[in-house]
């Protein structure tokens, strides 16, 4: 969540806005509060869409039909105003991360969580289809993970099945990598298209990658239509399920009811249906929501000056309509058309010569840990522990054997040296097994490496080039820093040179062959997403 900007409204209809959540295809999304104190997500249309009569007509129809969508796993539409100067839609607020963020930060889901996710999404789509809608943009970013199960959101670009005449020629709905072949070809789109997207979403949840690639290129569009999906790494039951959903022929795909019959009740979401790290993320969202609501309650209980700014997007509001910044992204600059905030009256200076300035706070983190991003961790602790035990047993056996044999002085010296090396290997391997692994996070700020509560930050402004170098167990992430910036090796994070670069994280230490291959693919996707101008995709 981000604080409201100067150009943002403080109220939309009957809902008081508390914070910015983000932005979508339709416009800005805010956390709001109803008169009774219930949290809601309020989506406000962009100014250019508000001026489009065709959009308003489509929005009116979709609001009516979306309000009819029931089901357990959809975010309920609670209110809307298509006639407002800036049309808006309020839905149930789900205190949890998106599926995209959960997988990006904590890795793919286990089999049980994937099946539970599939059951929830299939039931959500069943409710959407019964209301006469096709979602058209089911993707990981449109799936929220709540404590009791997933929620499908964003019917803003979905369209009534019968409203084929309301789409302009060439207009395209969907997200590359998750839409169906019929969406790609521009042919008729129905419920089977959502089932295809469901299969792609489940493949992403189980592997961390879209089944036809993560890049947005014509080659990927070709693969969606003509190639088979990459389903390596999926457990057997989810693989069969996903393969059926990703059939090229819409008539060959299972219905949502058939999917629910296949998954069965064994995958029913429960209080512990997600991995512990993702459950902790949901708990953090709920705690953040409580803090925002508590802070807003305190402001309302305070002086009237805390409630002066009431710019509303509703025709019945008391202030002027909001400016264009309401539909923009979370930019730090206010809109030039927005009314400035009222400054508090100046206080007379106090004559206290002995007053000392307060000590400065901690410096701002250049790579913020709270931002979403891709997370990678080193592994190999179990193999190190096993090797430590094996080396210790060999050393013990050599000592026992040496005591039973009549050896010369030189042979005893060689035996003693061998025992020493085995004991040293056992101690070092045990230390490696017990030492916490390194954690690498890549986000929009840069690269953050953590171990035992210690952190190293490499902001993108310090990086001239970044690439994945080496192969096999020596494959690693390397960065070439801009002139004037240097790396220093630390005892908890050793930096090794590589052709003028610094190897900062070894992918080869993330596990076996298959896991290294999967993690390398995730790492390349993260670099393409967060550092497209600095990422060198060549094999070095």
Would you please indicate which residues are annotated as catalytic (active-site) residues?
A: 137
**Tokens 């999926």 correspond to what residue?**
234
Residue-wise burial string across 196-221, b where 16 or more C-beta atoms lie within 10 A, e elsewhere: bbbbbbbbbbbbbbbbbbbeeeeebb
Q: Which helix (H) or strand (E) holds 423?
A: helix 409-434
Three-class DSSP category at 379: coil
Task: Name 473's Cβ contacts closer than 8 Å, sequence gap at least 6.
Answer: 506, 508, 509, 516
Contact 47, 73 (CB under 8 A): no
Is there a contact between 278 and 97 (Cβ–Cβ < 8 Å)?
yes
In contact, 496 and 503? CB cutoff 8 Å:
yes
Cβ within 8 Å of residue 114, ≥6 positions away: 202, 205, 206, 235, 238
How far apart CA 444 and CA 381 sit, in angstroms, is 30
Q: Are 36 and 168 in contact (CB under 8 A)?
A: no
Q: Is the dihedral of CA 122, 127, 130, 131 positive or negative?
A: negative
- Token pair of 34 as six digits: 């109803």
How many CA atoms lie less than 13 Å away from 326 in the CB half-sphere? 30
């Amino acid at each position: 969540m981000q604080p409201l900007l100067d150009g943002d409204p403080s109220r939309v209809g009957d809902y008081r806005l508390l914070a910015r959540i983000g932005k979508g295809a339709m416009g800005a999304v805010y956390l709001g509060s109803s008169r009774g104190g219930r949290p809601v997500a309020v989506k406000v249309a962009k100014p250019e869409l508000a001026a489009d009569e065709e959009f308003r007509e489509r929005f009116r129809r979709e609001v009516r039909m979306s309000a009819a969508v029931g089901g357990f796993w959809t975010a309920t539409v609670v209110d809307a105003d298509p006639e407002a100067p800036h049309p808006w839609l309020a839905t149930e607020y789900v205190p949890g991360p998106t599926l995209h963020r959960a997988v990006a930060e904590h890795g793919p889901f286990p089999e049980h969580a994937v099946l539970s996710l599939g059951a929830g999404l299939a039931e959500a789509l069943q409710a959407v289809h019964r209301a006469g809608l096709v979602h058209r943009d089911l993707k990981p970013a449109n799936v929220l993970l709540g404590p009791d199960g997933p929620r499908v959101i964003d019917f803003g670009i979905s369209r009534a099945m019968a409203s084929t005449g309301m789409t302009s020629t060439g207009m395209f709905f969907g997200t590359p990598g998750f839409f169906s072949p019929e969406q790609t070809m521009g042919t008729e789109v129905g419920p089977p298209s959502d089932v295809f997207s469901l299969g792609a979403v489940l493949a992403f949840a189980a592997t961390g990658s879209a089944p036809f690639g993560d890049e947005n290129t014509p080659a990927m569009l070709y693969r969606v239509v003509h190639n088979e999906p990459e389903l390596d790494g999926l457990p057997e039951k989810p693989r069969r399920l996903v393969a059926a959903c990703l059939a090229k022929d819409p008539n060959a795909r299972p219905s949502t009811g058939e999917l629910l019959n296949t998954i069965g009740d064994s995958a029913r979401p429960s209080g512990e249906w997600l991995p512990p790290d993702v459950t902790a993320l949901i708990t953090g969202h709920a705690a953040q929501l409580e803090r925002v609501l508590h802070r807003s309650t305190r402001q309302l209980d305070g002086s009237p000056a805390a409630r002066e700014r009431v710019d509303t997007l509703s025709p019945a509001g008391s202030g002027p309509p909001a400016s264009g910044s309401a539909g923009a992204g979370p930019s730090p600059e206010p809109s030039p058309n927005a009314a400035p905030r009222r400054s508090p009256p100046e206080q007379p200076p106090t004559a206290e010569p002995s007053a000392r300035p307060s000590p400065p706070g901690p410096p701002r983190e250049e790579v913020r840990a709270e931002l979403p991003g891709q997370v990678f961790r080193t592994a190999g602790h179990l193999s190190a522990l096993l090797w430590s035990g094996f080396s210790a047993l060999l050393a013990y056996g050599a000592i026992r054997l040496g005591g039973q044999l009549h050896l010369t002085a030189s042979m005893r010296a060689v035996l003693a040296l061998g025992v020493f090396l085995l004991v040293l290997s056992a101690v070092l391997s045990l230390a490696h097994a017990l030492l916490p692994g390194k954690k690498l996070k890549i986000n929009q700020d840069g690269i953050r490496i953590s171990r035992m509560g210690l952190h190293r930050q490499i902001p993108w402004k310090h990086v001239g080039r970044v690439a994945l170098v080496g192969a096999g167990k020596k494959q690693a992430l390397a960065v070439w820093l801009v002139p004037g910036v240097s790396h220093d090796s630390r005892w908890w994070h050793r930096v090794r040179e590589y052709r003028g670069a610094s190897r900062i994280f070894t992918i080869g230490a993330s596990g076996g062959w298959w896991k290294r291959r999967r993690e390398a693919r995730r790492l390349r996707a993260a670099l393409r997403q967060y550092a497209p101008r600095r990422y060198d995709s060549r094999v070095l």
